[in-house]
């Protein structure tokens, strides 16, 4: 009798999920963003293409407060019905967990992975008249001048910050971190010589580099970028260095029905591969890296372990 009841309950749930997925979507979908800049631009483009394909409005809600944690927490508490999903980065989903004393969500338990979108092209820039021609030059100077080399990033706990701390650990050097809220201001202070090196994204510094106001000496990615194939990575110049994870991705609330997850995954990937979106991503220095939900879940788990090791080795304490 109990077995029969259990089977009936299972059939009922499957039937409900099937019926729900067939009618989905039937109202506007809310895409919560906790990013700005180029990431926001791409997210809005993708949302527009998804809206055209799915036949319902996709409403963008941006909230970057709390280093993105407030928006992430909002989605973690939303109904798992496919009408709310998150576009986020490693800064909020990975690094925030280790760098803040209290985070109102568990990055694994409180979200349903949907798909990666891509990875940002990260660079190291110096003033045009800098004596640094390579990362080897940077490290040699830092070793001779402990704690005096200044480096800019877009903030504490970002991919750029962890990259520099990891570089210091691998190379055995001390550098002085100067965090900025505005990456354009960081670029300006670098080109004037106030800052010696700048860990930043390609999209921010490329206009300065193109105008000869900044010089790029390394990519902070695992491999070279097709649009700058002659620019070596940090790892090529510094043995033992592997850049921290730096992706953008989509997550939903926990417990989303698999048919809904699959539909969103397919629509996201379809939108990303639209020629207009691809062209814009190239211009902003973003590389397409999509995934299945399972691949994103595995990447998240692996990257959490790696981030924990980087934070521990660098001696970074939560604030």
Average the pLDDT over 8-34 and give the result.
Answer: 71
Same domain, 104 and 128: no
CB 166 within 8 A of CB 240: no
Candidates 244, 246, 261, 248; CA nearest to 111 is 261
Question: Which pair of tokens denotes residue 294?
Answer: 């399972």
| Domain-located, residue 106 | yes
Q: Does the pLDDT of residue 67 top 60, yes or no?
A: yes
Same domain, 257 and 305: yes
Domain boundary among 220, 236, 257: 220
**φ and ψ of 212, to 5 deg:** 80, 15
| Domain-located, residue 237 | no
Q: Supply the DSSP symbol for 80.
A: S
Same domain, 214 and 273: no
In the block, residue with structure tokens 């939903």: 252
3-state secondary structure of 226: helix
| Domain-located, residue 67 | yes
CB 113 within 8 A of CB 258: no
Structural domain span for residue 255: 29-119+246-314
> Which contiguous run of DSSP H or E holds residue 69?
helix 69-76
Same domain, 136 and 205: yes
pLDDT band at residue 319 under the 50/70/90 scheme: confident
Q: What is the pLDDT of residue 270?
A: 98
C-alpha 135 chain-centroid distance: 24
| Domain-located, residue 195 | yes
Rg (CA), the chain: 21
Cα separations in angstroms, 149 against 127, 233, 236, 265, 296: 14, 20, 21, 44, 37
Contacts of 279 (CB under 8 A, 6+ apart): none
In the block, residue with structure tokens 């080399």: 149
Same domain, 283 and 310: yes
Same domain, 111 and 169: no
Name which of 9-18, 53-62, 259-268 the model is least confident about: 9-18
Average the pLDDT over 68-94 and give the result.
Answer: 95
Q: What is the pLDDT of residue 241?
A: 95
Q: How many residues does the chain have?
A: 319
Query: Using one digit for the tens of pLDDT, what is the confidence trace for 145-204?
Result: 999 999 999 888 889 999 999 999 999 999 999 999 888 899 999 999 999 999 999 988
Average the pLDDT over 85-89 and give the result.
Answer: 96
| Domain-located, residue 240 | no
Domain boundary among 220, 237, 267: 220
CB 153 within 8 A of CB 162: no
CB 97 within 8 A of CB 189: no
Cα separations in angstroms, 133 against 16, 127, 193, 218, 237: 62, 10, 15, 9, 11
Q: What is the pLDDT of residue 75?
A: 98
The pairing of strands 84-89 and 58-62 is unpaired
Same domain, 213 and 126: yes
CB 93 within 8 A of CB 35: no
Same domain, 114 and 137: no
Domain boundary among 204, 220, 236: 220
Q: What is the pLDDT of residue 91?
A: 86
Q: What is the pLDDT of residue 37?
A: 81
Same domain, 286 and 139: no
Question: Which pair of tokens denotes residue 14?
Answer: 């499957």
CB 145 within 8 A of CB 171: no
Same domain, 89 and 143: no
Q: Does the pLDDT of residue 132 top 70, yes or no?
A: yes
| Domain-located, residue 22 | no
pLDDT band at residue 17 under the 50/70/90 scheme: low
Same domain, 111 and 251: yes
| Domain-located, residue 4 | no
Same domain, 140 and 213: yes
Give the chain's domain count: 2
pLDDT band at residue 39 under the 50/70/90 scheme: confident
- CA–CA separation, 130 vs 218, rounded Å? 14
Q: Does the pLDDT of residue 125 top 50, yes or no?
A: yes
Average the pLDDT over 103-115 and give the result.
Answer: 96
Residue 209 sits in a domain whose CATH number is 3.40.190.10
Q: What is the pLDDT of residue 18?
A: 53
Q: What is the pLDDT of residue 9?
A: 44
Query: Using one digit for the tens of pLDDT, what is the confidence trace for 200-217?
Result: 999 889 899 999 999 999
pLDDT band at residue 6 under the 50/70/90 scheme: very low
3-state secondary structure of 253: coil
Question: Which pair of tokens denotes residue 169?
Answer: 């650990």
3-state secondary structure of 8: helix
Average the pLDDT over 48-63 and give the result.
Answer: 97
Average pLDDT, the chain: 91
pLDDT band at residue 2 under the 50/70/90 scheme: very low
Average the pLDDT over 36-54 and give the result.
Answer: 93
| Domain-located, residue 231 | no
Name which of 13-22, 68-77, 276-285 the model is least confident about: 13-22
């Amino acid at each position: 009798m109990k077995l029969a009841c259990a089977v009936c309950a299972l059939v009922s749930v499957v039937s409900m999920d099937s019926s729900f997925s067939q009618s989905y979507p039937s109202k506007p979908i809310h895409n919560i963003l906790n990013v700005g800049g180029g990431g926001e631009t791409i997210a809005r483009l993708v949302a527009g293409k998804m809206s055209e394909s799915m036949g319902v409005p996709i409403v963008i809600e941006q909230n970057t407060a709390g280093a993105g944690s407030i928006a992430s927490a909002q989605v973690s508490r939303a109904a798992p019905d496919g009408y709310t999903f998150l576009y986020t980065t490693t800064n909020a989903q990975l690094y925030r967990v280790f760098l803040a004393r209290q985070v109102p969500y568990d990055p694994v338990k409180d979200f349903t992975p949907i798909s990666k979108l891509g990875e940002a092209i990260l660079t190291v820039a110096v003033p045009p008249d800098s004596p640094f021609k390579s990362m080897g030059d940077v490290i040699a100077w830092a070793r001779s001048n402990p704690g005096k080399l200044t480096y800019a990033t877009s903030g504490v706990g970002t991919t750029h910050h962890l990259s520099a701390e990891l570089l210091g650990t691998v190379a055995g050097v001390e550098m002085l971190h100067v965090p900025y809220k505005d990456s354009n201001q960081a670029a300006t202070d670098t080109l004037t010589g106030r800052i010696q090196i700048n860990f930043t994204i390609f999209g921010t510094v490329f206009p300065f580099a193109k105008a000869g106001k900044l010089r790029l000496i390394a990519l902070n990615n695992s491999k070279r970028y097709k649009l700058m194939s002659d620019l070596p990575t940090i790892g090529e110049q510094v043995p033992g260095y592997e850049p921290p994870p730096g992706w953008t991705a989509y997550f939903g609330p926990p417990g989303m029905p698999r048919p809904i997850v699959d539909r969103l995954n397919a629509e996201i990937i379809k939108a990303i591969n639209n020629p207009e979106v691809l062209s814009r991503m190239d211009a902003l220095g973003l590389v397409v890296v999509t995934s299945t939900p399972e691949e994103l879940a595995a990447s998240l788990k692996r990257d959490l372990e790696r981030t924990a090791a980087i934070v521990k080795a660098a001696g970074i304490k939560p604030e």
